[in-house]
Amino acid sequence: MRKLSVSGRLFQAANAIFLGLLALSMFLPILQVLAKSLSGVKALANNAVGLLPVDFTWLNYEYVLQNPAILRSFAVTVYITVLGTLINLVMTATLAYPLSREEYRGRKFFLLMVLVTMIFPAPLIPLFILVKQLSMMNTLWALMVPGAISAFNFFIMRSFFQQLPKELIECSRMDGCGELRLMWNIVVPLSKPVMATVGLFYAIVHWNTYMHALYFINEPRLYPLQVKLRQMLLLDQVESGDSAFSDLLGTPEGIQMATVIVAMIPIIVVYPFVQRYFVKGMMLGSIKS
Protein backbone atom coordinates (compact mmCIF):
# COMPACT_ATOMS: atom_id res chain seq x y z
CA MET A 1 0.00 0.00 0.00
CA ARG A 2 1.50 3.31 -1.09
CA LYS A 3 2.22 5.80 1.68
CA LEU A 4 0.81 9.26 1.33
CA SER A 5 3.11 12.25 1.18
CA VAL A 6 3.03 14.92 3.85
CA SER A 7 0.90 17.18 1.63
CA GLY A 8 -1.46 14.26 0.96
CA ARG A 9 -1.92 13.57 4.66
CA LEU A 10 -2.47 17.26 5.36
CA PHE A 11 -5.11 17.37 2.63
CA GLN A 12 -6.89 14.32 4.05
CA ALA A 13 -6.84 15.80 7.55
CA ALA A 14 -8.16 19.17 6.31
CA ASN A 15 -10.81 17.40 4.26
CA ALA A 16 -11.91 15.30 7.25
CA ILE A 17 -12.10 18.39 9.48
CA PHE A 18 -14.11 20.32 6.88
CA LEU A 19 -16.58 17.48 6.28
CA GLY A 20 -16.88 16.91 10.04
CA LEU A 21 -17.71 20.58 10.65
CA LEU A 22 -20.17 20.53 7.75
CA ALA A 23 -21.92 17.45 9.16
CA LEU A 24 -21.96 19.02 12.62
CA SER A 25 -23.54 22.21 11.26
CA MET A 26 -26.36 20.07 9.85
CA PHE A 27 -26.79 17.87 12.91
CA LEU A 28 -26.78 20.53 15.67
CA PRO A 29 -30.03 22.26 14.56
CA ILE A 30 -31.78 18.87 14.53
CA LEU A 31 -30.40 18.15 18.00
CA GLN A 32 -31.74 21.47 19.26
CA VAL A 33 -35.17 20.78 17.77
CA LEU A 34 -35.17 17.40 19.53
CA ALA A 35 -34.13 19.03 22.81
CA LYS A 36 -36.94 21.59 22.59
CA SER A 37 -39.49 18.89 21.81
CA LEU A 38 -38.54 17.15 25.07
CA SER A 39 -38.40 20.29 27.25
CA GLY A 40 -40.94 21.79 29.59
CA VAL A 41 -43.05 24.89 28.97
CA LYS A 42 -41.20 27.15 31.41
CA ALA A 43 -37.79 26.32 29.94
CA LEU A 44 -39.06 27.06 26.43
CA ALA A 45 -40.72 30.31 27.54
CA ASN A 46 -37.46 31.45 29.15
CA ASN A 47 -35.45 30.39 26.08
CA ALA A 48 -33.29 28.22 28.33
CA VAL A 49 -33.01 25.18 26.04
CA GLY A 50 -29.76 24.54 24.21
CA LEU A 51 -28.66 21.18 22.86
CA LEU A 52 -30.03 19.19 25.82
CA PRO A 53 -33.62 19.01 27.14
CA VAL A 54 -34.55 21.10 30.18
CA ASP A 55 -37.36 19.87 32.47
CA PHE A 56 -37.64 16.65 30.45
CA THR A 57 -41.21 15.78 29.42
CA TRP A 58 -43.11 13.63 26.90
CA LEU A 59 -46.20 15.86 26.94
CA ASN A 60 -45.40 17.47 23.59
CA TYR A 61 -45.30 14.08 21.88
CA GLU A 62 -48.43 12.96 23.72
CA TYR A 63 -50.23 16.00 22.33
CA VAL A 64 -49.01 15.34 18.79
CA LEU A 65 -49.95 11.65 18.91
CA GLN A 66 -53.40 12.42 20.34
CA ASN A 67 -54.31 15.38 18.12
CA PRO A 68 -56.77 14.23 15.40
CA ALA A 69 -55.82 17.01 12.96
CA ILE A 70 -52.10 16.16 13.10
CA LEU A 71 -52.75 12.42 12.84
CA ARG A 72 -55.04 12.98 9.86
CA SER A 73 -52.37 15.06 8.11
CA PHE A 74 -49.81 12.37 8.90
CA ALA A 75 -52.10 9.71 7.39
CA VAL A 76 -52.61 11.83 4.26
CA THR A 77 -48.85 12.20 3.85
CA VAL A 78 -48.27 8.48 4.29
CA TYR A 79 -51.00 7.74 1.73
CA ILE A 80 -49.64 10.05 -0.98
CA THR A 81 -46.08 8.91 -0.29
CA VAL A 82 -46.83 5.19 -0.64
CA LEU A 83 -49.34 5.36 -3.50
CA GLY A 84 -47.57 8.25 -5.23
CA THR A 85 -44.20 6.50 -5.16
CA LEU A 86 -45.79 3.34 -6.56
CA ILE A 87 -47.35 5.35 -9.40
CA ASN A 88 -44.01 7.06 -10.04
CA LEU A 89 -42.07 3.80 -10.26
CA VAL A 90 -44.61 2.11 -12.54
CA MET A 91 -44.87 5.08 -14.90
CA THR A 92 -41.13 5.80 -14.96
CA ALA A 93 -40.19 2.16 -15.60
CA THR A 94 -42.87 1.85 -18.28
CA LEU A 95 -41.36 4.81 -20.16
CA ALA A 96 -37.69 4.14 -19.40
CA TYR A 97 -37.60 0.50 -20.55
CA PRO A 98 -38.69 0.95 -24.20
CA LEU A 99 -36.56 4.09 -24.56
CA SER A 100 -33.52 2.13 -23.33
CA ARG A 101 -33.74 -0.44 -26.17
CA GLU A 102 -31.98 0.45 -29.42
CA GLU A 103 -34.41 -1.55 -31.59
CA TYR A 104 -37.38 0.72 -30.85
CA ARG A 105 -37.92 3.30 -33.58
CA GLY A 106 -38.58 6.92 -32.72
CA ARG A 107 -36.97 6.67 -29.31
CA LYS A 108 -34.68 9.67 -29.97
CA PHE A 109 -37.71 11.89 -30.55
CA PHE A 110 -39.32 10.85 -27.26
CA LEU A 111 -36.00 11.22 -25.42
CA LEU A 112 -35.81 14.77 -26.73
CA MET A 113 -39.34 15.46 -25.50
CA VAL A 114 -38.44 14.22 -22.02
CA LEU A 115 -35.26 16.29 -22.04
CA VAL A 116 -37.25 19.40 -22.95
CA THR A 117 -39.43 18.95 -19.85
CA MET A 118 -36.27 18.70 -17.75
CA ILE A 119 -34.83 21.94 -19.14
CA PHE A 120 -38.14 23.83 -19.32
CA PRO A 121 -40.43 22.65 -16.49
CA ALA A 122 -44.15 23.36 -16.72
CA PRO A 123 -45.10 26.88 -15.50
CA LEU A 124 -47.48 27.14 -12.58
CA ILE A 125 -50.47 28.68 -14.39
CA PRO A 126 -50.69 26.02 -17.15
CA LEU A 127 -50.22 23.33 -14.52
CA PHE A 128 -53.01 24.80 -12.40
CA ILE A 129 -55.34 24.99 -15.42
CA LEU A 130 -54.51 21.38 -16.34
CA VAL A 131 -55.26 20.11 -12.83
CA LYS A 132 -58.52 22.07 -12.78
CA GLN A 133 -59.61 20.81 -16.22
CA LEU A 134 -58.92 17.22 -15.10
CA SER A 135 -61.21 17.78 -12.06
CA MET A 136 -58.40 16.99 -9.64
CA MET A 137 -58.71 20.16 -7.53
CA ASN A 138 -59.16 19.36 -3.84
CA THR A 139 -58.23 15.72 -4.41
CA LEU A 140 -55.08 13.87 -3.45
CA TRP A 141 -54.62 12.87 -7.10
CA ALA A 142 -53.45 16.44 -7.72
CA LEU A 143 -50.44 15.71 -5.52
CA MET A 144 -49.53 12.44 -7.26
CA VAL A 145 -50.53 12.40 -10.94
CA PRO A 146 -49.03 15.64 -12.39
CA GLY A 147 -45.52 14.63 -11.30
CA ALA A 148 -45.86 10.95 -12.15
CA ILE A 149 -42.58 10.94 -14.11
CA SER A 150 -39.53 13.00 -13.19
CA ALA A 151 -37.16 13.54 -16.12
CA PHE A 152 -34.12 13.30 -13.84
CA ASN A 153 -35.24 9.98 -12.35
CA PHE A 154 -36.25 8.75 -15.81
CA PHE A 155 -32.73 9.21 -17.16
CA ILE A 156 -31.23 7.43 -14.13
CA MET A 157 -33.54 4.44 -14.64
CA ARG A 158 -33.05 4.38 -18.42
CA SER A 159 -29.26 4.38 -18.02
CA PHE A 160 -29.53 1.46 -15.62
CA PHE A 161 -31.74 -0.51 -18.03
CA GLN A 162 -29.15 0.05 -20.76
CA GLN A 163 -26.55 -1.78 -18.66
CA LEU A 164 -28.59 -4.99 -18.52
CA PRO A 165 -27.12 -7.79 -20.73
CA LYS A 166 -28.60 -7.75 -24.21
CA GLU A 167 -28.16 -11.53 -24.38
CA LEU A 168 -30.61 -11.94 -21.51
CA ILE A 169 -33.22 -9.83 -23.29
CA GLU A 170 -32.76 -11.71 -26.57
CA CYS A 171 -32.90 -15.16 -24.92
CA SER A 172 -36.12 -14.21 -23.14
CA ARG A 173 -37.70 -13.14 -26.41
CA MET A 174 -36.60 -16.36 -28.09
CA ASP A 175 -38.33 -18.30 -25.31
CA GLY A 176 -41.58 -16.55 -26.19
CA CYS A 177 -41.55 -13.86 -23.52
CA GLY A 178 -43.64 -10.82 -24.49
CA GLU A 179 -42.45 -7.28 -23.88
CA LEU A 180 -44.65 -6.64 -20.82
CA ARG A 181 -43.75 -9.98 -19.26
CA LEU A 182 -40.10 -9.41 -20.13
CA MET A 183 -40.15 -6.06 -18.40
CA TRP A 184 -42.02 -6.96 -15.20
CA ASN A 185 -40.70 -10.52 -14.70
CA ILE A 186 -37.08 -10.06 -15.74
CA VAL A 187 -35.99 -6.43 -16.11
CA VAL A 188 -37.65 -4.98 -13.00
CA PRO A 189 -36.51 -7.77 -10.58
CA LEU A 190 -32.93 -7.24 -11.80
CA SER A 191 -33.25 -3.51 -11.19
CA LYS A 192 -33.69 -3.41 -7.41
CA PRO A 193 -30.78 -0.96 -6.87
CA VAL A 194 -32.13 1.68 -9.23
CA MET A 195 -35.73 1.04 -8.12
CA ALA A 196 -34.73 1.65 -4.49
CA THR A 197 -32.75 4.75 -5.42
CA VAL A 198 -35.41 6.33 -7.61
CA GLY A 199 -38.14 5.24 -5.20
CA LEU A 200 -36.36 7.04 -2.36
CA PHE A 201 -36.09 10.21 -4.46
CA TYR A 202 -39.80 10.09 -5.25
CA ALA A 203 -40.78 9.24 -1.67
CA ILE A 204 -38.87 12.21 -0.25
CA VAL A 205 -40.58 14.55 -2.72
CA HIS A 206 -44.02 13.21 -1.76
CA TRP A 207 -43.25 13.28 1.95
CA ASN A 208 -42.21 16.94 1.69
CA THR A 209 -45.15 17.95 -0.53
CA TYR A 210 -45.90 21.57 0.26
CA MET A 211 -46.29 24.01 -2.65
CA HIS A 212 -48.61 21.83 -4.74
CA ALA A 213 -50.75 21.22 -1.68
CA LEU A 214 -51.09 24.97 -1.17
CA TYR A 215 -52.04 25.46 -4.82
CA PHE A 216 -54.43 22.54 -5.33
CA ILE A 217 -55.86 21.70 -1.88
CA ASN A 218 -58.32 23.98 -0.07
CA GLU A 219 -59.92 21.52 2.33
CA PRO A 220 -58.10 21.28 5.68
CA ARG A 221 -58.94 17.57 6.02
CA LEU A 222 -56.76 16.87 2.95
CA TYR A 223 -53.76 18.90 4.09
CA PRO A 224 -50.52 16.89 4.15
CA LEU A 225 -48.21 17.09 7.13
CA GLN A 226 -45.96 19.84 5.74
CA VAL A 227 -48.91 22.22 5.27
CA LYS A 228 -50.07 21.43 8.79
CA LEU A 229 -46.57 22.25 10.02
CA ARG A 230 -46.78 25.59 8.22
CA GLN A 231 -49.99 26.40 10.06
CA MET A 232 -48.41 25.47 13.38
CA LEU A 233 -45.05 27.20 12.86
CA LEU A 234 -46.14 30.38 11.08
CA LEU A 235 -49.75 30.85 12.11
CA ASP A 236 -49.55 29.26 15.59
CA GLN A 237 -52.72 27.27 14.88
CA VAL A 238 -52.39 24.81 17.76
CA GLU A 239 -55.69 23.84 19.30
CA SER A 240 -56.97 21.22 21.68
CA GLY A 241 -60.01 20.80 23.85
CA ASP A 242 -58.14 18.67 26.39
CA SER A 243 -57.37 20.59 29.58
CA ALA A 244 -54.35 18.36 30.20
CA PHE A 245 -52.53 20.27 27.47
CA SER A 246 -53.65 23.78 28.44
CA ASP A 247 -50.18 24.79 29.66
CA LEU A 248 -48.58 23.53 26.44
CA LEU A 249 -50.92 25.64 24.30
CA GLY A 250 -49.70 28.78 26.07
CA THR A 251 -46.21 28.12 24.66
CA PRO A 252 -46.74 25.88 21.61
CA GLU A 253 -43.08 25.82 20.57
CA GLY A 254 -42.55 22.38 22.12
CA ILE A 255 -45.53 20.98 20.22
CA GLN A 256 -44.22 22.48 17.00
CA MET A 257 -40.78 20.95 17.51
CA ALA A 258 -42.30 17.57 18.38
CA THR A 259 -44.31 17.66 15.15
CA VAL A 260 -41.13 18.41 13.19
CA ILE A 261 -39.39 15.39 14.74
CA VAL A 262 -42.40 13.14 14.04
CA ALA A 263 -42.35 14.30 10.40
CA MET A 264 -38.65 13.40 10.12
CA ILE A 265 -38.76 9.94 11.69
CA PRO A 266 -40.26 7.89 8.78
CA ILE A 267 -37.59 8.97 6.26
CA ILE A 268 -34.83 8.42 8.82
CA VAL A 269 -36.18 4.93 9.54
CA VAL A 270 -36.58 3.95 5.87
CA TYR A 271 -33.23 5.23 4.61
CA PRO A 272 -30.97 2.59 6.27
CA PHE A 273 -32.92 -0.18 4.53
CA VAL A 274 -32.33 1.29 1.07
CA GLN A 275 -28.86 2.68 1.71
CA ARG A 276 -27.11 -0.42 0.37
CA TYR A 277 -28.96 0.03 -2.93
CA PHE A 278 -28.58 3.80 -3.04
CA VAL A 279 -24.94 4.27 -4.10
CA LYS A 280 -25.01 1.15 -6.27
CA GLY A 281 -28.07 2.35 -8.14
CA MET A 282 -26.65 5.82 -8.69
CA MET A 283 -23.30 4.48 -9.94
CA LEU A 284 -24.69 1.79 -12.22
CA GLY A 285 -27.20 4.22 -13.61
CA SER A 286 -24.46 6.67 -14.56
CA ILE A 287 -21.88 4.39 -16.20
CA LYS A 288 -21.79 4.03 -19.95
CA SER A 289 -20.35 0.88 -21.47
pLDDT tens for each residue of 1-26: 567 677 778 888 888 899 999 988 88
Contact 210, 197 (CB under 8 A): no
Domain-embedded: residue 207: yes
Report pLDDT digits (tens) over 103-157: 777 788 888 888 888 888 878 888 888 888 888 889 899 999 888 888 888 888 8
Question: Would the pLDDT of 80 be above 90?
Answer: yes
- One-letter identity of residue 38: L
> Tell me, what's the pLDDT at 101?
80
Domain-embedded: residue 6: no
**CA–CA dist 80, 143 (Å, integer):** 7
State the residue range of the domain holding 198: 60-284
pLDDT, mean of residues 154-169: 82
Max mean pLDDT among 36-45, 148-157, 160-169, 184-193 falls in: 148-157
Max mean pLDDT among 1-5, 204-208, 284-288 falls in: 204-208
Domain-embedded: residue 28: no
Q: Which of 81-90, 105-114, 159-168, 268-277 has the lowest mean pLDDT?
A: 268-277
| Helices marked H in the chain | 6-37, 41-45, 59-66, 68-96, 107-119, 124-133, 151-162, 166-174, 179-182, 192-207, 211-216, 225-234, 246-250, 253-284
Domain-embedded: residue 17: no
Domain-embedded: residue 39: no
Domain-embedded: residue 113: yes
Residue 278's nearest CA partner among 226, 200, 217, 216 is: 200
Count structural domains, the chain: 1
Q: Give the domain CATH number at 115.
A: 1.10.3720.10
Question: Would the pLDDT of 218 be above 60?
Answer: yes
Domain-embedded: residue 9: no
**CA–CA dist 285, 197 (Å, integer):** 10
**Cα 134 vs. chain centroid, distance in angstroms?**
25
Query: How would residue 27 be classed by pLDDT, with cut points 50, 70 and 90?
Result: confident
Listing DSSP states for 192-221 in one string gives: HHHHHHHHHHHHHHHHT--HHHHHH---GG
Contact 51, 32 (CB under 8 A): yes
Domain-embedded: residue 66: yes
pLDDT, mean of residues 233-241: 57
